[in-house]
Structure 1
Amino acid sequence: MIDRMFSTRRSPEILVFRLFLLVAAVAFAAAPGLAQDHFDAHRGRGRIVVLMVWDGLRPDFVTQRDTPNLYRMAREGVRFDKHHSIFPTLTMVNATALATGAPPGVNGLEGNVFYLPPSAGTPASVSNIAPGEAKPGAPTIAKDAQGRMVWTEGARAIVDLNGADGFKGRLIGLDTITQEVAREGGYVAVIGKQGPTSVFDNRVETVVGGKDILGEPHQDYLFASDDLVEPKSESQKISAAMPPDSKTAIADGQRDMYFARLAVEDALPAAKRAADAGRPALVVFWQHNPDLTQHIAGLGTLPAMQALSLCDNNLMRLRAAIEALGIADKTDLIVVSDHGFATIKFRIVLSEMLVSAGIKKSHDSTDVIVAPNGGADLVYLSPTEFPTPQSRHAVLQKIVNFAEAQEWCGPIFSRESAPPPDERSRRGRGRRAPKPYLGWIDGTFSQRVVGLYNSARSPDLVISFREEPNADNKGLTGPGNPAFLIGEIGQVSTRNKSAELVHPVKGLVYADTGTSKTFTTGMGMHGAAGEREIHNFCAAIGPDFRHGFVDFNPTANTDVAPTITQVLGMLPNIGPGGAVPSGRAMAEALTDGRHGAGGSHTQTMTTDLMLQGVEAVTTIQVSWIGDEPYLDSSTVEHKPLGSSP
């Protein structure tokens, strides 16, 4: 628990204090009387929280012209001006952070696409893909002994992973906020896009007789996504009415409208009944858009702007229903996005490039496995091919040296934080210890800096691709513009599949989508550690939130679940082994008289790597509130050797 909350400011006193907090939290959960006294002010008052997610919404896209309803809501309630996505800035990573309040190093889900070794208990039914692919396909590596790649947004992937043949209810490192509400006897509705919805209620298909696979209560609920509806009594009605996959200009826009109807006509009335009985209620509504349309059409295109309008109309419907049901005085509405967005400048196929560089045996080999995730790649080494720390260090340094020499490379995060013994010896006992935020591979940061380190599931490297935040997509987005791919044979031209550009949008990124031909230059992408993708949107309104307030403190997706927990008056979530959310309740935005978060400060962290004739200097900026880090941005610069002071 202490390791995952890595801080460059940590002192022995802080370590002791954090250990005290952990012990106190465990004792607190074990003392029902104390907990009851503490939460009397909130428990039993029948609060409703509606969490509406606009997938892929950038904060600068919320304007009076394009999203008038959201623009007005953010000014009537609370606008979180410095809200952060969790790195990697991917949907499933941030869905899990939103659901648990914990970063990937604690919750265990580190990518949309990630690799599971054979010992991880992956069920044969889970959608899986070959090592170089970015989309679900045939189970091409299910038969070998090397494990498999999992695409978590695939049909039923999460619920299958977490079923009786998989992780048996423990795929995620701790319970989600919806599971907490269900355990309290409240009402839960999770509606919308497949994948992220399955994270919020990842045991829903195991419910029998009002209890899930872990024996936890789960009685009053609705789950409706593209590929699963529960309980079974609702399945036929909802599935029959659900529109088919949409291939129109607004991708899956009809489904987003249908899911909004479910939230208005089914979920909110059920939440009202629970609240009237003094029970908590949580409604999660996750839209496909604007993410899906921004991916396919590109940022600043007419379809992308239409997708924003559709989402804004769905918000209007939700707020109107809350008023019509007479529950505005007991309903808090939080609108958040999972990540930001940028425009693809070049497509990269890292696995092919490592083959051509002689580092990886072949595109589909399992000596070096690359899980492509758009703006970031997860890299895993085979423990049989590289059985010793020395052999692993050698090949990882080759990968880092190769990547950081390229124009497309952003910051790289390595699994280990300290050099192995032979490296410490080689560097000399008399030298000062390396800065604690550095990784054990030269030129990298430690995964602990961004909450990524997980002893069971962390990849060996997380490579973020480079973002250019202030360059716009004019000349890139539009079918008449050139498109480029960098792969095994170098740079080649491809067809540009993006739509016509209406308004240029700043923020470009290099991206690896594997060998999939879906994405091209000019389309939208995310996943990297650049400021356009890291900074996402969050606003809230309701009886528990201040009015007309702008929160200038750093906040993040990990802070949303603890805030909901406090609003609903529930106990802090503690998982197996004492795992707890690292996020904080955004108390400064609440009306219950609590004091604010206090001041924040910013820290700049830098790595440098000496290459042939060039020094690669990578910088990340991190803001802190107390011991909680918020990754702000990253930059990369190549300097001639000897030019640095």
Structure 2
Amino acid sequence: MKIGKYLQRFIYLALCVVTITIACTRQPQQSNQQVAQKAKQHNAIIFVADGLRPDWVNSTDTPNLNEIRSDGVTFLNSHSLFPTFTTSNASAIATGHFLGDTGDFSNTIKVNTPVKSAKNSFVPYLENNVVLKEVNKQFGANFLNEQSLLFTARKAGFSTAAVGKIGPVLIQDITLQQGEPTIIFDDDTGTKEGVALNQDVISLLDKNSLPKETPERGENGKSGDYKTPGTTSANVTQQQYFADVTTKVILPLFQQRQKPFVMVYWSRDPDGTQHNHGDSLNKLVPGINGPTSQAARQNVDKNLAQIRGALKELGLEETTNIFITADHGFSTISRESKTSYAATLNYPDVPKGFLPSGFVAIDLAKDLGLPLFDPDKKNASVDPTKGQNTRNHILGKDPNKPDVIVAANGGSDLVYLPNKALQKDLAQKIVTSLFKQDYVSGVFVNNDLGKIPGTLSLENIGLRGNARTPKPSMLINFRSFDTGCGTPTACGAEVSDTKLQQGQGMHGSFSRADTYNMMGAIGPDFKKGFKDFAPVSNADVPRTIAKVLNLQLKPLGRLTGRVMNEALVGQPDTVGAKSFTMESKPAENGLKTVLKYQTVGKTRYFDVAGFPGRTLGL
């Protein structure tokens, strides 16, 4: 009897042990499945703070941006793509490709045929929805020639949205047609030029008493002139609308759908305010470091705080990655030159002795002996000796058969040579002319034109690839310098081909002040409190987000960014990065274009380029 009781107890205890063991071994498997399931449901917001410089992110003015960098990942070796313009980097943030593949070489580029909505110009400004749609039709309904992250996400069943600044917002899903699911809010929302809103969005707008039309910028949109200071207001009203739409309409709608989502939020501030500010009319100091630019930084941080608060309130914080980037850095405009013929002439809207808009074309026309025409005004003649000037120019005896086209962009200009019979001869003459000017700091030439002493090739900087749009013949970088505040990348200045005034803001150059952009990330897939010293760029952003969301971007071109594995949970902290310097052969006057860049594997990161002594950071 005793043996039987002992045996029963033994069997009972053994069964308990087996049961507990099975339960213990099953629990981790179930947990792993839950983790995997949650990983599939992660979301992403790419928050673009247009023109935000990392040196001005701090706990006082920008506490939310600062918190993301301190609590999540801060990228200390970040890069904008050159030319450092908005739509160019928007194409990289959209597709993960360099500009040689996307063909978005600058904000103003040459296209195949005149664009009706751009006054029949064939060098349109791309920050315009109607222009983008027309240009898109010229190049197979996708002028970027690559799939975007938002396109890939919506085809995979994700909810998708792009909100904010006109131009770069639509570029995030450039093949979007009316009636498709990506939600678009930008400057044109509510007008006939805007992307139509679906009924779910309209109902939530009504429920929250939000207008269906985006407010205008008001005072923030006023840039002044050479006698009148520009704005002293940040873009508060318009951006508050975008923040309200995001937090009261789009995110609640996405939460109701119970599907993963990807959103791009493109803040016009601080960019628009830094361009137009009135703190420093015709003076280099304080330039873009005055109180108005400070207000713009505070404004974008406030919008970010509202979005983060909504994620927490909706229960989405733990599943949503937030990636912060800026499309480019920023510099103060200089319009001074001691060598330019254009600066010796008189214009009704330019201070005496300053460079006018279009100064590159005016100087080239003088040296080449060619007349000037305005492609944005039905090829009207332009005579600088009579005080006439404009942005973009055609050079040639017949404007319908141009020899040279100059697309003015700001801190750098594009030159096209459509006359194939004269290309190589003109290219050499143009380089000789440019090398006489103190405002030039580096020239990059299309490989098809051969090697010209003093220049590097477009291929060297990732501008030769699979692009559908016409390739520039050369790219001119302008001189940049430090205004002396103690932090060069925060206080750079650059000669700019622009209608804006000296002391206002611009970008587009190859200075480190323009290539150095703010980048940070926080969320379930990113490490906490991690400092990333590896080089990263805007072309890496969509590829990294695609990786953590299990989306497959299908590239056509080969000029792609990389996945920032070192910043992701469970991945090694370091990658093998190398630094290089490339120099051209010197020109007859000794000038040579120098390029400094880094690599991770086959991916290049361009730090700075130009003539030694004429580019900040070189």
Instruction: Decide: shared fold, TM above 0.5.
Output: yes
Worse-matched range after superposition: 626-635 or 503-512 = 503-512
2:615 paired with 1:626:
no
Given the alignment, which residue of 68, 74, 82 partners 2:69? Answer: 74
- Call closer, same or farther: CA 1:595–1:199 in 2, change over 3 Å: same
Name the structure 1 match of 2:126: 152
Name the structure 2 match of 1:602: 579
Name the structure 2 match of 1:530: 511
Kindly state the Cα deviation for residue 471 of structure 1 after the two structures are TM-superposed: 2.7
Misfit runs of 4+, over 6 Å? 235-238
CA distance in 1: counterparts of 2:252 and 2:104, whole angstroms: 33
2:476 paired with 1:463:
yes
CA distance in 1: counterparts of 2:448 and 2:110, whole angstroms: 21
Given the alignment, which residue of 411, 425, 433 partners 1:402? Answer: 433
CA distance in 2: counterparts of 1:47 and 1:230, whole angstroms: 28
Kindly state the Cα deviation for residue 313 of structure 1 after the two structures are TM-superposed: 0.7
Name the structure 2 match of 1:323: 312
Given the alignment, which residue of 280, 293, 300 partners 2:260? Answer: 280
The one-letter amino acid of 2:94's match is A
* Structure with higher strand content: 1
CA distance in 2: counterparts of 1:581 and 1:50, whole angstroms: 24
CA distance in 2: counterparts of 1:232 and 1:319, whole angstroms: 25
- Call closer, same or farther: CA 1:203–1:504 in 2, change over 3 Å: closer
Name the structure 1 match of 2:148: 176
Kindly state the Cα deviation for residue 473 of structure 1 after the two structures are TM-superposed: 7.9
Given the alignment, which residue of 93, 96, 118 partners 1:98? Answer: 93
Kindly state the Cα deviation for residue 581 of structure 1 after the two structures are TM-superposed: 6.0
CA distance in 1: counterparts of 2:107 and 2:370, whole angstroms: 23
TM-score of the aligned structures, taking structure 1 as reference length: 0.73
Name the structure 2 match of 1:411: 442
Please tell me whether the aligned partners of residues 95 and 199 of structure 1 are also in contact (alpha carbons under 8 angstroms): yes
**What does 1:120-519 correspond to in 2, within 5 Å?**
124-125=115-116, 127-128=117-118, 138-139=119-120, 141=121, 148-163=122-137, 166-204=138-176, 206-208=177-179, 218-219=180-181, 221-227=182-188, 228-231=194-197, 233=199, 234=201, 240-248=212-220, 249-274=232-257, 276=258, 279-297=259-277, 298-346=287-335, 347=355, 349-358=359-368, 360-364=370-374, 365=394, 366-383=402-419, 387-388=420-421, 391-416=422-447, 419=450, 440-454=451-465, 456=468, 457-468=470-481, 470-472=482-484, 506-513=491-498, 516=499, 519=500
Q: Deviations over 1:361-394 (max 9, x none)?
A: 32433321000110110100122xxx33xx3112
- Call closer, same or farther: CA 1:466–1:239 in 2, change over 3 Å: farther
Please tell me whether the aligned partners of residues 624 and 630 of structure 1 are also in contact (alpha carbons under 8 angstroms): yes
Q: Deviations over 1:118-162 (max 9, x none)?
A: 3xxx6x54x32xxxxxxxxx33x5xxxxxx111100243223322
CA distance in 1: counterparts of 2:476 and 2:241, whole angstroms: 38
Q: How many residues align?
A: 499
The one-letter amino acid of 1:258's match is Y
The one-letter amino acid of 1:334's match is F
Kindly state the Cα deviation for residue 634 of structure 1 after the two structures are TM-superposed: 2.2
2:574 paired with 1:579:
no
Please tell me whether the aligned partners of residues 427 and 449 of structure 2 are also in contact (alpha carbons under 8 angstroms): no
Kindly state the Cα deviation for residue 526 of structure 1 after the two structures are TM-superposed: 0.3
CA distance in 2: counterparts of 1:580 and 1:631, whole angstroms: 17
Q: Deviations over 1:595-636 (max 9, x none)?
A: 35622111111124334xx31133110111111110111241
SS at match of 1:536: coil
Name the structure 1 match of 2:31: none
SS at match of 1:230: coil
Name the structure 1 match of 2:538: 557
Please tell me whether the aligned partners of residues 473 and 522 of structure 1 are also in contact (alpha carbons under 8 angstroms): no
The one-letter amino acid of 1:230's match is A
The one-letter amino acid of 2:554's match is I
Name the structure 1 match of 2:385: none
Name the structure 2 match of 1:85: 80
Please tell me whether the aligned partners of residues 101 and 557 of structure 1 are also in contact (alpha carbons under 8 angstroms): yes
Kindly state the Cα deviation for residue 359 of structure 1 after the two structures are TM-superposed: 5.2
- Call closer, same or farther: CA 1:191–1:638 in 2, change over 3 Å: closer
The one-letter amino acid of 1:286's match is W
Q: Deviations over 1:61-97 (max 9, x none)?
A: 1122221221122100000111100000000000000
Greater gyration radius:
2
- Call closer, same or farther: CA 1:359–1:67 in 2, change over 3 Å: farther
Please tell me whether the aligned partners of residues 69 and 316 of structure 1 are also in contact (alpha carbons under 8 angstroms): yes
CA distance in 2: counterparts of 1:267 and 1:310, whole angstroms: 21
Please tell me whether the aligned partners of residues 351 and 363 of structure 1 are also in contact (alpha carbons under 8 angstroms): no
Q: Deviations over 1:464-484 (max 9, x none)?
A: 11211x33489xxxxxxxxxx
Q: CA RMSD in A?
A: 2.5
The one-letter amino acid of 1:523's match is Q
2:560 paired with 1:589:
no
CA distance in 2: counterparts of 1:83 and 1:360, whole angstroms: 42
CA distance in 2: counterparts of 1:207 and 1:155, whole angstroms: 13
What 5-or-longer segments of structure 1 have no aligned partner? Answer: 1-39, 129-137, 142-147, 209-217, 420-439, 475-502, 640-645
Please tell me whether the aligned partners of residues 558 and 581 of structure 1 are also in contact (alpha carbons under 8 angstroms): no
2:592 paired with 1:617:
yes
CA distance in 1: counterparts of 2:525 and 2:410, whole angstroms: 37
Worse-matched range after superposition: 225-234 or 341-350 = 225-234
The one-letter amino acid of 1:574's match is K
Name the structure 2 match of 1:132: none
2:518 paired with 1:540:
no
Q: Deviations over 1:326-365 (max 9, x none)?
A: 1111111111100001111214621111112225432433
The one-letter amino acid of 1:169's match is A
Please tell me whether the aligned partners of residues 53 and 286 of structure 1 are also in contact (alpha carbons under 8 angstroms): yes
Name the structure 2 match of 1:483: none
Please tell me whether the aligned partners of residues 473 and 507 of structure 1 are also in contact (alpha carbons under 8 angstroms): no
Name the structure 2 match of 1:19: none
CA distance in 1: counterparts of 2:187 and 2:529, whole angstroms: 36
Kindly state the Cα deviation for residue 505 of structure 1 after the two structures are TM-superposed: 5.3
